[in-house]
Structure 1
Amino acid sequence: MSKLSDAVKALINAGHAKPGYTRASADVQPALINFASSAKEKKVGLPAWVTLSTAVSATLNCPEAMTSIFHLANSSDSQRAPVQNAELIREVGLKCISFNGIPRSINTLGAFYGSLPSDVASSLSTATTREYTAANVEARKKDGLALWDQVYLGFERKLLDKLAQSHPDLPVHIINGHYGNLLSDPRGKKTGANVGRVLTSLVAIACLRSQTGVGPQVTSHVFGLRKAYENGDAHAEGQEPVEGGEWLASNDGNIWMLENIDKLVNVICCGEGTTFAPGMRAKL
């Protein structure tokens, strides 16, 4: 196999191209503590604030923040085992793929796993739950379309038609590849963590808000969160109650959520704006 020249390697790893992780500054831990404290005051439970802060951290390519979230979660609720918190964080990181793309989830989940205590890492589930088989493929596609319909109720078919105008396979991939096989939880899943209907909306909102530039999608998923409660999806069979979820779906909850996402973005990125798609730094 051919080798990259030193010049090519240097260009790939040039500082202006930001080739590595976003490092967590000393201000990140206090910001996360403040976020968790504010969530507690608003009666927003641990799964919700861990989901929001993890999705922000994954979007910004900051696995060190994810590790801080893990330790903060462990110290915040002694009733939850550390492995539960680790499973939740990595399931959120997986679902971030649907909004951020694959590379950041690969990198942040790998670094997060490497940061875990050995006893926690060795206790994480190793069973796959999303493999398509001849026996489950139609059910998974059906579940994906059902989740899509819940999120976009009132516009669900019109939006699919509009997406198909952009590319005929766009709605096919969105429904089957994301809503069916990733964003909806596999039926009968018994291992790892379940990030259900409400928490999945929180993942979407946190990722998209942290990216910037996708206001229409943020709006859609804020409405999607509201519809989870308005139409009863949040309380459907198999859905775990999310403490504070209904308040987060209100106007006051929306404002609190968006403002706190912005605060975390500002701290993780040291006030320089999102790392998701800001363009390259000017060469010095």
Structure 2
Amino acid sequence: MTLNSPDSLLSLYTLASSPDHQASSQSSSDSSHALWTAELMRETGLKCIGFNGVPRTINMLNAFHSGLPKPIQSALAERKPRRNLSTRNLDATLERGRGLWSSIYRGFDEKLVAKLAQSHPDLPVHIIESEYGALFSDPPSDSSPSIPNVGRVLTSIVAVSCLRAQTGVGPQVLSHVFGLRKAFGDGTAEDESEVQGGKWLAGDEGSGWLLRVVDEIVGAIGEGKGGTFAPGFGEGKEKAKL
């Protein structure tokens, strides 16, 4: 997603949707697994809006859908939106956003809100309410196993991966590395389905491995030229930690 490479995303889907990568807890049906994988990947892609921006996410999700098998496209077309805001769910959405923010930045959450507000009073408002509440946190569902949620742990892994691939946003990468660890420290990781290897990735060895693998993927897809995000200019120390 971050590298704007639709072919790579579809290759990943082909690999992830194969029977060899089907978790034992999922349905034994190959078609169900293929649909579940497509659901998870596009739900993850949607959350990338907060890291990669809207235009790139639109392009990638459009290309992803176009490259899926027709039966999967038809099944996905039956899904209804889950993030509509209304007077009935607004308070719950805002609460989810504040809860996720506090979990990721535990110990620094209020200080960071004040720091962001210095730049613009609506900056923390938008980030916490619109990004963390309406986007990064998973909306309520009917608990159907065929509609996967990304979850707290995988959302942090996605954040680290996207930001590392961008380059130039080191403080934000570090913040989300620690945010991943805090998911296991505050118990939020225990409230969702286990992410295989998630706890290991939250440790020193796993975090280092995750960063190296992202760098290797960027190098392979970018043919040694790096990613397509500007790395930033100047040698001043970055202060923001989003």
- Quick check: TM above 0.5? yes
The residue aligned with 1:64 is 7
**Quick check: 1:229–1:246 contact (8 Å CA) kept in 2?**
yes
TM-score, normalization: structure 2? 0.88
Partner residue, 2:63: 111
Contact 2:82-2:140 within 8 A present in 1 as well: no
Q: Distance in 1 between matches of 2:231 and 2:175?
A: 23
The answer as to whether partners of 1:97 and 1:105 remain within 8 angstroms in 2 is: yes
Alpha-carbon offset, residue 274 of structure 1: 1.1
How does 1:199-278 map onto structure 2 within 5 Å?
199-236=154-191, 239-277=192-230
Counterparts of 1:256 and 1:174, CA distance in 2: 29
**Structure 2 matches for 1:1-284, cutoff 5 A?**
58-75=1-18, 76-78=20-22, 79=28, 81-124=33-76, 125-188=78-141, 190=143, 192-236=147-191, 239-277=192-230
Q: Which amino acid aligns with 2:157?
A: L
Contact between 1:129 and 1:189, CA under 8 Å: does it hold in 2?
A: no
CA contact (8 A) 1:164 1:171 kept: yes
| Distance apart, 1:193 and its partner CA | 2.4
- Point out the structure with max Rg over C-alpha: 1
Displacement of 1:189 = 5.0
Read off the aligned partner of 1:146 and give its amino acid letter.
G
Q: In the aligned structure 2, how far is the partner of 1:141 from the partner of 1:117?
A: 37
Structure 2 unmatched runs, 5+: 23-27, 233-242
In the alignment of these two chains, the number of paired residues is 220
Q: Secondary structure at the match of 1:164?
A: helix
**How many angstroms does 1:110 deviate by?**
0.1
Q: Secondary structure at the match of 2:17?
A: helix
Instruction: Give the structure, 1 or 2, with the largest relative contact order (CA under 8 Å, sep 6 or more).
Output: 1
Q: Which runs of 5+ in 1 are unaligned?
A: 1-57, 280-284
Amino acid at match of 1:198: V
* Separation in 2, partners of 1:213, 1:262: 13
- Once the two structures are superposed, residues 193-244 of structure 1 have per-residue CA deviations (whole angstroms, 9 ceiling, x without a partner) of 20000000011001000000000000000000000001111002xx111111
| Percent identity for Structure 1 against Structure 2 | 52
* Whole-angstrom CA distance in 1 between matches of 2:66 and 2:123: 35
Partners of 1:201 and 1:131 in 2: CA distance: 23
Aligned-partner Cα distance in 1 for 2:105–2:202: 15
Distance 1:83 1:74 in 2: 8
Residue 126 of structure 1, CA deviation: 2.4
Q: Name the amino acid aligned to 1:268.
A: I
Partner Cα distance (2:57, 2:85) in 1: 21
Shift of 1:188: 3.3
CA distance in 2, matches of 1:62, 1:106: 13
Instruction: Answer yes or no: is the 8 Å Cα contact 1:151–1:221 preserved in 2.
Output: yes
AA of the residue aligned to 2:182: K
Runs of 4+ in 1 over 3 A off after TM superposition: 188-192
> Which residue identity is paired with 1:104?
R
Please give the alpha-carbon distance, in whole angstroms, between the structure 2 residues aligned to 1:83 and 1:131.
23
Kept in 2: contact 1:66–1:89 (CA 8 A): no
**AA partner of residue 223 (structure 1):** F
**Cross-structure match for 2:240:** none
Give the alignment's Cα RMSD to 1 decimal.
1.4
Q: One-letter code of the match for 1:160? A: V
| Counterpart Cα distance in 1 of 2:160 and 2:204 | 14
